[in-house]
A and B are shown apart, each in its own frame.
Chain A
Amino acid sequence: MTIHGLLSIIAGLLLAPLLQGIVNRTKAVFAGRRGAPLLQQYRDIARLLRKGAVFSGTTTWIFRLAPSITLACALVALVVLAPAPVEQGWGFAGDALLLAYALGLARFLTVAAALDTGSSFEGMGASREVLYSALAEPALLVGIAVLARVSGGTSLASILQGAGVTGWVSAGTALALVGVSFFVVLLAENSRVPFDDPNTHLELTMVHEVMVLDSSGPDFALVTYGASLKLWVFSVLFASLAVSPLGLSGFALLGALTAAVLFTGVIVGTVESTMARSSLARAPLLLAGACALSILAFILASRFLS
């Protein structure tokens, strides 16, 4: 049993809402405001947990089930992404697919719950969510395939850590392209600018926020915490790739990884402050661009390594 693998999971559980706070603080600094406290989301979640929930008469058990399953899926993704196996036989061959499909199941239930409310606005948000994720998934999976090709590993921990220094020397350009692709997927999957503006409360333009309009009280606390965990999971994916050329292991890796994840929040905030939200018609083009980068990286990696 390795202690730093366990610590990385605990760090994710504890620090995920802080990451949202860092993104919001970065945006506030860019706009010249003082902004909400870094720990605001912890307070929001605590406040929501104390409240009672209201359920619309049109909803069924799906709506009540969705928040907990969504959170559970995000937890599975977090556990799979731990940089070192916590126990013997923890990581297994092909657990990258488990990561992708745990997130897919979470998305399916969020979308089903949104449709369950019978609101036309939530239906529009659900439709956009499915469109974006259908385009983001190939970019993610091909990107992971590139990392597997470069590192020669088949479990997620070995894929992310195995690229290492030798991988960057032999196929550095391919790995850099995958990094860019992962970042675009991060923005799309977490409904950030330029795909969606998390600050707007205009139902016509939202993606994630509009799907959870009907959730309230403890349910909404679970949804909010699940969304933070999802942002953390994608940031870990991006940050692991970013720190892999340092060739660290053990506690040094854990520290560098956590710092890199929190810094990813700063990058996301910077992107959100400097870019405009792109129109709905352009978003698929951006995601197709991310797919193009992943596939180009795959072709390059196969060529460089053969």
Chain B
Amino acid sequence: MLDIVLVALILSNFVLLGSSRLSSCIRTAALQGIMAGLLPLATAGAGLSLRIVALGLAVVALKGFVFPHLLNRALRESATSREVQPFVGYTPSLLAGLLALAASFWLDGRLALPTHSASSILVPVSFSLMFTGIFLLVARRTAVNQVLGYIVLENGIYAFSLAVVRDIPFLVELGVLMDMFVAVFVMGIAIYRINSEFDHIDSDRLSTLKG
């Protein structure tokens, strides 16, 4: 069961890397956020407590519903529907995602981290989420996709902490979520500003600004 969720996380990575339509990217990232939020419920097994359930629900609400809503609004205002010319094309992106996946499994073998009892692929999947997130941040032009990359990166860190630390302090995780919320909020405003300045949400144009 847990393995199916983890494989679905990898598949959502591939969709994010290969899809040019921004609204479907946002939907996929929301789905990924929901799956990541449900991970602690699946890994806890017998030790399921109210705290874990509350944390999972908070993550699902924020990543599955609040962030996509904010991003969709930014997208509507900017009137762009797809990323036309990313720095790295979609097929090369997919191949890069595959390489990242292979690297994650290799790294997991080399690091000899304590493996989680629930699943042997939790750590490599979290690595691959992180790599994909970083790749999206670097390889995409539109600000919306960069925000999504940031969210995917955070999903990876979240999954990694689940695998290694096992028990996440409630307060710490809430703090991280709060930071994420502020970050996405600020980026939403930034997208709006870039859009009203350039009629476009291409963050690459920012480099032409002169002080």
Contact B94 A285 (CB under 8 A): yes
Within the complex, the shortest CB–CB distance from A68 to chain B, in Å, comes to: 37
**Chain A residues closer than 8 Å to B18, beta-carbon distance:** 285, 288-289
Q: Which of A260-292 contact B (CB under 8 A)?
A: 284-285, 288-289, 291-292
Q: How far is the CA of A177 from the CA of B6 in the complex (A)?
A: 13
B102 — nearest CB in chain A belongs to which residue?
A299
Q: Does B98 count as interface, using CB distance less than 8 angstroms?
A: yes
Q: How far is the CA of A173 from the CA of B11 in the complex (A)?
A: 12
The prevalent SS among residues of B at the interface is helix
Known: A173-B3, A285-B90, A292-B14. A300 touches B121 (CB 8 A): yes
Within the complex, the shortest CB–CB distance from A172 to chain B, in Å, comes to: 8
Q: How far is the CA of A292 from the CA of B18 in the complex (A)?
A: 11
**Chain A residues closer than 8 Å to B120, beta-carbon distance:** 303-304
The prevalent SS among residues of A at the interface is helix
**Chain B residues closer than 8 Å to A303, beta-carbon distance:** 105, 120-121, 124
Q: Which of B97-119 contact A (CB under 8 A)?
A: 97-98, 101-102, 105
**Chain B residues closer than 8 Å to A206, beta-carbon distance:** none
Within the complex, the shortest CB–CB distance from B94 to chain A, in Å, comes to: 5
**Chain A residues closer than 8 Å to B94, beta-carbon distance:** 285, 288-289, 292
Contact A295 B121 (CB under 8 A): no
Count of A-B contacts judged by CB separation below 8 Å = 42
Q: How far is the CA of A303 from the CA of B10 in the complex (A)?
A: 15
Q: In the complex, which of the residues A173, A284, A291, A296 has the most CB atoms of chain B within 10 Å of its own CB atom?
A: A296
Contact B105 A299 (CB under 8 A): yes
**Chain A residues closer than 8 Å to B14, beta-carbon distance:** 289, 292-293, 296
Contact B102 A285 (CB under 8 A): no
Q: How far is the CA of A295 from the CA of B94 in the complex (A)?
A: 12
Contact-residue bracket for chain A = 10 to 19
Contact A296 B101 (CB under 8 A): yes
**Chain B residues closer than 8 Å to A295, beta-carbon distance:** 98, 101-102
Tally of B interface residues using CB under 8 Å? 19
Q: Does B138 count as interface, using CB distance less than 8 angstroms?
A: no
**Chain A residues closer than 8 Å to B81, beta-carbon distance:** none
Within the complex, the shortest CB–CB distance from B121 to chain A, in Å, comes to: 6
Within the complex, the shortest CB–CB distance from A114 to chain B, in Å, comes to: 26
**Chain B residues closer than 8 Å to A299, beta-carbon distance:** 101-102, 105
Contact B91 A288 (CB under 8 A): yes
**Chain B residues closer than 8 Å to A292, beta-carbon distance:** 14, 94, 97-98
Q: How far is the CA of A304 from the CA of B2 in the complex (A)?
A: 13
Within the complex, the shortest CB–CB distance from B112 to chain A, in Å, comes to: 15
**Chain B residues closer than 8 Å to A285, beta-carbon distance:** 18, 90-91, 94
Within the complex, the shortest CB–CB distance from A83 to chain B, in Å, comes to: 28
Within the complex, the shortest CB–CB distance from A271 to chain B, in Å, comes to: 18
Q: Does B95 count as interface, using CB distance less than 8 angstroms?
A: yes
Within the complex, the shortest CB–CB distance from B35 to chain A, in Å, comes to: 14
Interface string of B1-25 (1 = CB under 8 A from A): 0011001001100100010000000
Interface string of B168-200 (1 = CB under 8 A from A): 000000000000000000000000000000000
B99 — nearest CB in chain A belongs to which residue?
A295
Within the complex, the shortest CB–CB distance from B33 to chain A, in Å, comes to: 21
**Chain B residues closer than 8 Å to A296, beta-carbon distance:** 7, 10-11, 14, 98, 101
Q: How far is the CA of A291 from the CA of B94 in the complex (A)?
A: 10
**Chain A residues closer than 8 Å to B97, beta-carbon distance:** 292
Within the complex, the shortest CB–CB distance from A150 to chain B, in Å, comes to: 15
Within the complex, the shortest CB–CB distance from B96 to chain A, in Å, comes to: 11
Contact B105 A173 (CB under 8 A): no
Within the complex, the shortest CB–CB distance from B153 to chain A, in Å, comes to: 20
B89 — nearest CB in chain A belongs to which residue?
A285
Contact B105 A288 (CB under 8 A): no
Contact B91 A177 (CB under 8 A): no
Within the complex, the shortest CB–CB distance from A43 to chain B, in Å, comes to: 42
Q: How far is the CA of A133 from the CA of B200 in the complex (A)?
A: 39
Q: Which of B122-167 contact A (CB under 8 A)?
A: 124
Interface string of B52-89 (1 = CB under 8 A from A): 00000000000000000000000000000000000000
Task: Other than A296-B98, A300-B121, A303-B121, give 11 A-B pairs with Cβ distance below 8 A.
Answer: A285-B18, A288-B18, A288-B91, A288-B95, A291-B98, A292-B98, A296-B14, A296-B101, A299-B101, A303-B120, A304-B120
Binding site for B on A (CB under 8 A): 173, 177, 284-285, 288-289, 291-293, 295-296, 299-300, 303-304
A selection of 26 A-B contacts at a CB cut-off of 8 Å is A173-B3, A173-B4, A284-B91, A285-B90, A285-B91, A285-B94, A288-B94, A288-B95, A289-B18, A289-B94, A291-B98, A292-B94, A292-B98, A293-B14, A295-B98, A295-B102, A296-B7, A296-B11, A296-B98, A299-B101, A300-B7, A300-B121, A303-B120, A303-B121, A303-B124, A304-B120
